Amino acid sequence: MHITIVGAGAMGSLFGAKLSVAARVTLLDPWIEHVRAVQDHGLTIVGLDGSEMNLPLTATSDPDTVSEADLGIIFVKSHATQEASQWVSRFLADDGLALTLQNGVGNADTISHVLGRDRAVAGVTSHGATLLGPGRVRHAGQGPTHLGTRPEVADRLSRVVRILREAGFEVHISENLESLVWSKLLINVGINPLTAILRVPNGELLNIPSARVLMSRAVAEAEAVCRAKGIELTYSDPLARVEDVARATAANRSSMLQDVVRGAPTEIEVINGAVVEEGHRTGVDTPVNSCLVELVRALEDSYQVRVDAPG
């Protein structure tokens, strides 16, 4: 199987490295320095135990150089999903699948619009990773990966599941995609914006009492939205689950924190913003999530004038 990872940042690189033991993998990313580092020196993964592994991988920034792929895994930021889907359309086999493991809601719909519903699948993963620099990624947390299935993709998806498991991933299949997406969303709702605003790794949120209060309130609002929408989560205690993930990925810098540190657009609109939007639709008040959205927007708007240290 030929797998192309579209968006080879922290998570894309981690998945590409792990999958390379079970399939032929190509990394596709517009970040030239990262691509060149992988081309010249391979991709280095710093494991959970601190050990390092270097893997020779094919990497490119040009989608037209990618050979036909059986699977495209999309890991770009949500604002780039449309373009990533168009890239995938250039090399995905007619019977291939495009899998989104991105944060937030709405990505699968965008991919389906470009590629067709029979070639689009979605899932969520509990793995965490931090980009340390060009060609270098730290694996910062692990957990199960859940994929949503439907009758028209079941046979092809079974091949994907087999490869993922051969690569060492814990994989589960579900027919309730909305439950999977919102169950992952609640975790991001509680962790990502607070780590970005406070500039702390995931685990520190549990050590800051006021942050823990904000986390609980943001998650409670998201849980109320899910109840109003009739969505059954994959766990019984949302806050406990969020805290467990923060603890299991204590050293990880969330994707939103990584975005803010490098002055890049965040995914706040499809994470906490999705809670606010659905709250409006269902009549659920979401004041904490609304505030977190505005704070992160303010961070983005102040990139060019921010004072990062006393001077």
Are 182 and 226 a contacting pair, CB within 8 Å? Answer: yes
> Which residue from 298, 48, 293 is spatially nearest to 188, judged by alpha carbons?
293
Q: Is 125 left (phi over 0), alpha (psi -120 to 50) or beta?
A: beta
Are 78 and 106 contacting, i.e. CB atoms less than 8 angstroms apart?
A: yes
- Nearest alpha carbon to residue 282 among 221, 239, 229: 229
Nearest 5°: CA angle at 191, between 29 and 261? Answer: 50
Is residue 168 classed exposed, middle or buried when 0-12, 13-18 and 19+ CB atoms within 10 A define those classes? exposed
Is 18 noted as a catalytic residue in this protein? no
Catalytic residues: 184
